Structure 1
């Protein structure tokens, strides 16, 4: 029995997909890079720079919270849409009407891969349910996923912010901070490229290019 429960734990899906994890990390990094660009508004000196980045970290805490809440909103909305779709299929007047509802819900890519017989099979499985599916609700895994998003967004800013807390030379701190951020962007691009099946090195370089472009834009705007 214990062995079966251990196997179930190992096969359980993660609360966030690799794309979600990397995307949230990159989101936090891009936000942190904009904070680094704001350093020029502070005069050299430990107190002002530290105060600026404590405020920036507080801003990222807020955005991490917003992103986590919006994940929950997006999740319950998506499930509500699926629930409405199933109810619409069950209440369709005929088989053609039910199939059209299912076809309309498919993306163009998926619709091109699914035959009419397969769509009819999906409709049949929906109709075979003993009763209408219950209204969707958020569960413990959703809360864990939202917490993970919050932590990823916040933690991703620390490598970019910490140089300003430990280095008195603001110019050197900006160089170190941006170098660390670009390295993390490259790692994130590698992970996304490998997951998507593209060239991982190419994806990493593209992500670095995006980060470098953002840094250039920040400098042009006075960062």
Structure 2
């Protein structure tokens, strides 16, 4: 249930994907929405031959900054969650009262899963934690954490190009806007399909729902002058 020792932690990290489907799609959509918002804002105030180039570099600079911030926050979140698990393991391991240890484990469970796990099952976990001879003194980041942070940064930055690159490829800004929004909606649909399949729902339904969200956002940007 919890990675406690250095060896166990590294083994769990090696088996689990660095970023799951929800992480990847969420970061991609975040980057798309950020780039789309900045492109819309800049298009409302920019004119001239350099308009497309300005929009591209503005959106790219925005997502470079947010990609870096998101990557750092991913590391902080990972370290914090690992620290909570280590604290729980230490608490359970040092608790002389078995019932209190089981209660601590139950309190740490997500609300939806608590009714599905009996105290007898939690007692097995408590006993395994109590048998651990040593725990790390503090949580630490491992190699896959940094790989995940780099992955998040690259996903956010990559999502800039379908939105902003048309402004470099097309000299006519209105044409570039159409192409940019079409590519954005296509990527949102693909993202929705991926989320739907991951969740076990119909991929087409979630794809269309994600497109509807993108259309609503695009309409809002147009209404604001984008």
User: Which residue of the other structure, out of 56, 61, 73, is the alignment partner of 2:64?
Assistant: 61
Distance in 1, Cα, partners of 2:198 & 2:127: 34
Distance in 2, Cα, partners of 1:12 & 1:123: 23
Q: Deviations over 1:59-107 (max 9, x none)?
A: 1100000000000000000000000111111222411111111110001
Q: How many residues align?
A: 213
TM-score, normalized by length of structure 1? 0.91
Residue of structure 2 equivalent to 1:177: 180
Distance in 2, Cα, partners of 1:48 & 1:194: 39
Report the alpha carbon displacement of residue 125 of structure 1 after superposing the two structures with TM. Answer: 0.7
State the superposition RMSD in angstroms.
1.5
Q: Is the 8 A contact 1:35 1:53 kept in 2?
A: no
Report the alpha carbon displacement of residue 134 of structure 1 after superposing the two structures with TM. Answer: 4.1
Aligned with 2:34: secondary structure? helix
Q: Is the 8 A contact 1:185 1:207 kept in 2?
A: yes
Residue of structure 2 equivalent to 1:14: 17
CA gap of 1:123–1:141, structure 2 versus 1, over 3 A, is same
Aligned with 1:112: secondary structure? helix
Flag as ranges the 4+ runs of structure 1 deviating above 6 A. Answer: none
User: Which residue of the other structure, out of 135, 139, 142, is the alignment partner of 2:138?
Assistant: 135
Aligned with 1:187: secondary structure? helix
User: Which residue of the other structure, out of 151, 156, 159, is the alignment partner of 2:154?
Assistant: 151
Q: Deviations over 1:13-65 (max 9, x none)?
A: 3321111111111111111110221212111x231331232122111100000
Report the alpha carbon displacement of residue 113 of structure 1 after superposing the two structures with TM. Answer: 1.1
Q: Deviations over 1:97-122 (max 9, x none)?
A: 11111110001111111011001111
For the pair 1:208 / 2:224, whether they are aligned, the reply is no
Distance in 2, Cα, partners of 1:81 & 1:12: 21
TM alignment of 1:52-201, pairs within 5 A: 52-201=55-204
Deviates more, 1:27-36 or 1:172-181: 27-36
Residue of structure 2 equivalent to 1:31: 34
Unpaired stretches in structure 1, ≥5 consecutive residues: 1-7
For the pair 1:42 / 2:38, whether they are aligned, the reply is no
Distance in 2, Cα, partners of 1:108 & 1:204: 29
Distance in 2, Cα, partners of 1:52 & 1:162: 9
Distance in 2, Cα, partners of 1:12 & 1:49: 44
Distance in 2, Cα, partners of 1:174 & 1:186: 18
Distance in 2, Cα, partners of 1:51 & 1:126: 57
